[in-house]
């Protein structure tokens, strides 16, 4: 998922790992992973190009023993269990690739060791009014040991959510994953965290900084719009440690006579002729004459014809918006998907 004009969501977790001096990382990919695999084709961008360790990408593979795709997070680990067994590091960090945050995993590991925990779950106290029911909800005791863990409850009894980041000893993880496979269980949260919460010492580590998970269109829109706030933009783009991403060799954005830009992120390779306000434009976007774009996200390589009005929308990558088009969403964010007529033969 493209984020903040020049990044992908996976860049944030990979950057946190390399900034924490983690040297061996495996990425499990599955559905429609072509773009992600291309993004990960060179590990040098996150400093994982090394003899010891490195970046490994695993996709589901048909074997004589298995012909399934990953049936869940635990099953994804099980199908690649040889990677864990052949590793020598004592601890494993498991993290989803759709979170936007900065995190020092060394501090989480220190906390994990100090608590003598079996599993540590990174969690976040959400603001009142947030729709926390779509997350895993956690309740802890006075020592932050997890007492209750509900996955996407109908009614949330806590404002503390799981961030989808876990630390566990490697040997224990192998043991738990193999037991799940024996019992035909496939989900890490439901079949390990929730099932063993009374049997294992599972603690919550509270994240203090910015964190957002991209699970819905609204989440995606709000996350990108957060980067228009100076404090969020400064936190991610200017404060140490840095966020790294694959770099394309593109010219800087070009603002032609008549263009008008206000509170927007404009990426490399863009050509702007019209008005852009409170919006995020990704790479290689062309905005025609007399266009008006407000409160919108325009993804990579989009051509917007003259006299076009776009407001409260997300325009999908590689689209061609014909001249004199009008798109204005009222009650919800509209996603615009247009075929790219420039490339039709």
150-180 core/surface letters (b: 16 or more CB in 10 A; e: else): beeeeebebebbbbbbbbbbeeebbebbeeb
At residue 157, the pLDDT reads 83
Domain 254-343 architecture: 3 Solenoid (2.160)
Residues 122-139 have pLDDT tens digits of: 999 998 888 888 889 999
Fold of 2-237: Spore Coat Polysaccharide Biosynthesis Protein SpsA; Chain A (3.90.550)
Domain positions in the chain: 2-237, 254-343
Q: Reply yes or no on whether the pLDDT at 64 is more than 70.
A: no
Residues 306-342 have pLDDT tens digits of: 999 999 999 999 989 999 999 999 888 999 988 766 5
Closest C-alpha to 45, from 290, 341, 234, 243: 243
53 — pLDDT class (breaks 50, 70, 90): confident
At residue 345, the pLDDT reads 46
Residues 314-323 have pLDDT tens digits of: 999 998 999 9
60 — pLDDT class (breaks 50, 70, 90): confident
Residues 135-184 have pLDDT tens digits of: 899 999 999 999 999 988 888 888 999 999 999 999 999 999 999 999 99
Long-range CB contact pairs, 94-97, < 8 A, 24+:
94/165, 94/166, 94/167, 94/168, 94/188, 95/13, 95/17, 95/164, 95/165, 95/166, 96/13, 96/164, 96/165, 96/213, 97/9, 97/10, 97/13, 97/27
Question: Rounded to two decimals, what is the model's pTM?
Answer: 0.91
At residue 278, the pLDDT reads 97
């Amino acid at each position: 998922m493209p984020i903040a004009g020049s990044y992908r969501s996976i860049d944030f977790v990979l950057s946190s790992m390399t900034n924490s001096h983690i040297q061996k990382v495996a990425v499990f990919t599955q559905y429609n992973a072509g773009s992600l695999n291309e993004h990960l084709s060179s590990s040098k961008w996150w400093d994982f190009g090394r003899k010891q360790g490195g970046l490994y990408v695993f996709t589901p593979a048909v074997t004589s023993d298995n012909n399934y795709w990953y049936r869940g997070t635990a099953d994804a680990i099980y199908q690649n269990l040889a990677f864990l067994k052949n590793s020598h590091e004592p601890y494993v960090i498991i993290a989803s690739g759709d979170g936007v945050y900065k995190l020092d995993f060394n501090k989480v590991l220190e906390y994990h060791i100090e608590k003598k925990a079996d599993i540590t779950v990174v969690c976040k106290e959400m603001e009142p009014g947030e729709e926390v029911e779509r997350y895993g909800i956690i309740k802890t005791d006075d020592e932050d040991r997890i007492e209750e863990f509900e996955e996407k409850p109908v009614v949330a009894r806590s404002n503390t959510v799981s961030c989808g980041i876990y630390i566990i000893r490697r040997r224990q993880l192998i043991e738990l994953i193999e037991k799940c496979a024996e019992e035909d269980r496939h989900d890490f949260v439901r079949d390990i965290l929730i099932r063993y919460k009374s049997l294992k010492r599972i603690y919550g580590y509270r994240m203090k900084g910015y964190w957002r998970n991209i699970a819905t269109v609204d989440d995606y829109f709000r996350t990108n719009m957060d980067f228009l706030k100076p404090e969020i933009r400064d936190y991610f783009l200017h404060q140490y440690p840095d966020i790294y991403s694959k770099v394309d060799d593109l010219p800087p954005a070009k603002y032609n006579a008549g263009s008008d830009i206000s509170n927007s992120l404009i990426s490399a390779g863009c050509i702007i002729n019209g008005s852009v306000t409170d919006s995020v434009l990704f790479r290689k976007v062309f905005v025609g004459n007399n266009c008006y774009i407000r409160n919108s996200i325009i993804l990579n390589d989009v051509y917007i014809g003259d006299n076009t009005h776009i407001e409260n929308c997300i325009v999908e990558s590689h689209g061609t918006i014909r001249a004199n088009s009008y798109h204005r969403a009222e009650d919800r964010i509209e996603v615009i998907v247009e075929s790219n007529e420039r490339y039709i033969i």
